[in-house]
Amino acid sequence: MPLITYREAIKQALDEEIQRDENVCIMGEEVAQYNGAYKVTEGLWAKHGDKRLIDTPISEAAFSGLAIGASMLGIRPVVEMMFMSFSYVAIDQLFNNGSFCRYMSGGLMNVPIVVRGPANGGTSVGATHSHTPENMVANHPGLKVVCPSNAYDAKGLMKAAIRDNDPVFVMENTLLYGEKWEVPDEEYIVELGVANILREGSDLTIVSHGRCAMLSLQAAKTLEETHGISVEVVDLRSIRPLDEETILNSVRKTHRALLVEENKPFCGVDAQISHIIQLKAFDDLDAPIRRVSAIDAPNFYSKELEDWQLPNEERIIEGALKAMA
């Protein structure tokens, strides 16, 4: 199987979907002639032209709203946020119009858009550019959100998102863009709402998503080698819809849970997951559910401090040992 980068996998998904459906178009800042701020769309403008790759001015509210309006008439825009943090200036469009038009019309319309872009910290760009708003998106019924942790999922989830008839946010990660994974040549889809067990284990379940799932996988190997703890790692892939069954089945097997995410802890995704576990697997738990989240402050600029602020292997191992205590 070819080894390709996360960036290349997303580009393949966009390229294939543009060719599959004439209504799919990509719009955003620098996506066309500049080839994308993070080069995710590199070469697509040269290949598909102005109609399908559309450079926008720096006007997130206007082009997000325009994409939503166009989607009501059957266009399927994929809107790139150069940083998902920039979606904050388009919140009214995305969260009011994107999520509620269908509901407030009593189901007379739907909004098949994709909003994609990097949503991560860890790159020394300061707090304003380091948001991880998957929890905010998930808090709006009508919206869906996925957080691919690897190239295979990034391609498969992107294709599923584009074909979905509801608005889907795809949270990417600049620290993963250059990482490589095996991705098959044959077409495939990763369905929304299906988690992935990255590693099987019997002593502790780690539930995670996005890049943190990869960090958790690494920590699980270390925990096995240095502490003899067998850790199962569940990668959510999709936040809303959420694969509760895979989470619960794992916890029922291991009886202990550690939840790892880059979100800030208060009302983070893991707050909801923790609630679900205690509600539906209370009697299976041998210890309190533990969490490793970003240390609860705006993201630090200085690299050394931000690297400590975000979940890392050391903090995940520390959390795992507490969960095992």
Partner 1 sequence: MATTKKKTTAAAKKTGAKLKNFATAPINKSLSKDEKIDLYRMIVGIRRFEERSLRAYNQGKIGGFLHLYIGQEAVAAGIVSLMEKDDHIITAYRDHGHALAVGMSMNECMAEMYGKHTGCSKGKGGSMHFFAPDKNYWGGHGIVAGQTPLGAGLAFALKYKGLKGCAMAFLGDGAVNQGSFMETLNLASLWNIPVVFVIENNGYSMGTSLKRSSAEENLAHRADGFDMEWEVCNGHDVFEVREVANRAMIRAREEHKPFLLEIRTYRYRGHSVADANHEKYRTKEEIEEYKRTKDPVNVVKQHLLSDGTLTKELAKKIDQEKKDEAEASAKFADESPVAPRSEIQTDVYWEVDNDSEGELKGTYFFND
Residues of this chain that interact with partner 1 (CB under 8 A) are 23, 25, 51, 56-57, 59, 61-75, 92-93, 96-97, 101-110, 112, 141-142, 144, 164-166, 191-194, 238, 240-244, 272, 276, 279
Non-local CB neighbours of 276 within 8 Å, separated by 6+ positions: 242, 244, 247, 248
Residue type, 159: K
Report d(CA 314, CA 88) in Å as an integer: 32
Report d(CA 171, CA 41) in Å as an integer: 16
3-state secondary structure of 212: helix
Helices (H), 174-233: 211-222
Q: Report, in Å, the least distance between residue 188 CB and partner 1.
A: 15
Q: Report, in Å, the least distance between residue 245 CB and partner 1.
A: 9
55 token code pair: 């450079």
Q: Residue 160's CB: how many other CB atoms inside 10 A?
A: 24
Q: Beta strands 231-235 and 196-199: pairing type?
A: antiparallel
Q: Which is nearer to partner 1, 72 or 125 (CB)?
A: 72
Q: Report, in Å, the least distance between residue 209 CB and partner 1.
A: 13
Q: What is the dihedral of CA 18, 22, 23, 26, to 10 degrees?
A: 30
Non-local CB neighbours of 297 within 8 Å, separated by 6+ positions: 309
Exposure string (b/e) for 168-199, b if CB count within 10 Å is 16 or more?
A: bbbbbbbbbbeebbebeeeeeebebbbbbebb
Q: Report, in Å, the least distance between residue 194 CB and partner 1.
A: 5
Q: Which residues are catalytic?
A: 60, 129
Q: Report, in Å, the least distance between residue 276 CB and partner 1.
A: 8
Q: Which is nearer to partner 1, 48 or 315 (CB)?
A: 48
Q: Which is nearer to partner 1, 125 or 276 (CB)?
A: 276
3-state secondary structure of 240: strand
Q: Residue 57's CB: how many other CB atoms inside 10 A?
A: 8
Q: Report, in Å, the least distance between residue 304 CB and partner 1.
A: 38
Residues 112 and 164: beta-carbon distance below 8 Å: yes
Report d(CA 172, CA 311) in Å as an integer: 17
